[in-house]
Amino acid sequence: MKNIVEGTDSNFAQEVLQSNTPVLVDFWAPWCGPCRMVAPVVEEIATELNGKLKVVKVNTDENFGVASQYGIMSIPTLGIFKNGKMVDAVIGAVPKYHLVNKIQPHLDAVN
């Protein structure tokens, strides 16, 4: 998956919390149907907002530490991180426009 980073318990701080750009984190699991439904939308957003937004996918089955740290109870949870903090989140498979509308206010203005 181009433009998407695989997030793990060990690289989460570096890839997400220390990122200079806003980050969309897709908390997902392979067995999750809605996660598979939202995956193409996440990939489209990763391509369209490349350079403005970083996209990281975290498999919650393999990276329980990060998921529990952020209280992820339902997947997919799409967390929006900026300056090392989760500033917004969308739970469940949602239409692309809904996700983009949530992300847009957190993108840095580009002159």
Please give the chain's pLDDT, 111 residues, in tens: 679 999 999 999 999 999 999 999 999 999 999 999 999 999 999 999 999 999 999 999 999 999 999 999 999 999 999 999 999 999 999 999 999 999 999 997 653
Given 24, 35, 55, 103, the catalytic residue: 35
Given 4, 16, 25, 32, the catalytic residue: 32
For position 8, what pLDDT does the model report? 97
Query: If we measure between CA atoms, which residue out of 1, 5, 16, 6 comes closest to residue 62?
Result: 6
| Residue 55 β-bridge partners | 4, 24
Domains along the sequence of the chain with CATH = 4-106 (3.40.30.10)
Query: If we measure between CA atoms, which residue out of 86, 48, 53, 52 comes closest to residue 70?
Result: 86
- The reply to whether 32 belongs to the active site is yes
Query: If we measure between CA atoms, which residue out of 97, 64, 65, 94 comes closest to residue 78?
Result: 94
Using CA atoms, how far apart are residues 107 and 10, in angstroms rounded to an integer? Answer: 26
Provide φ and ψ at 3, rounded to 5°. 70, 10
What 3-state DSSP class applies to 75?
Answer: coil
For position 109, what pLDDT does the model report? 60
Q: Is the dihedral of CA 91, 39, 98, 49 positive or negative?
A: positive
Q: Is the pTM of this model over 0.85?
A: yes
For the stretch 22-40, pLDDT in tens is: 999 999 999 999 999 999 9
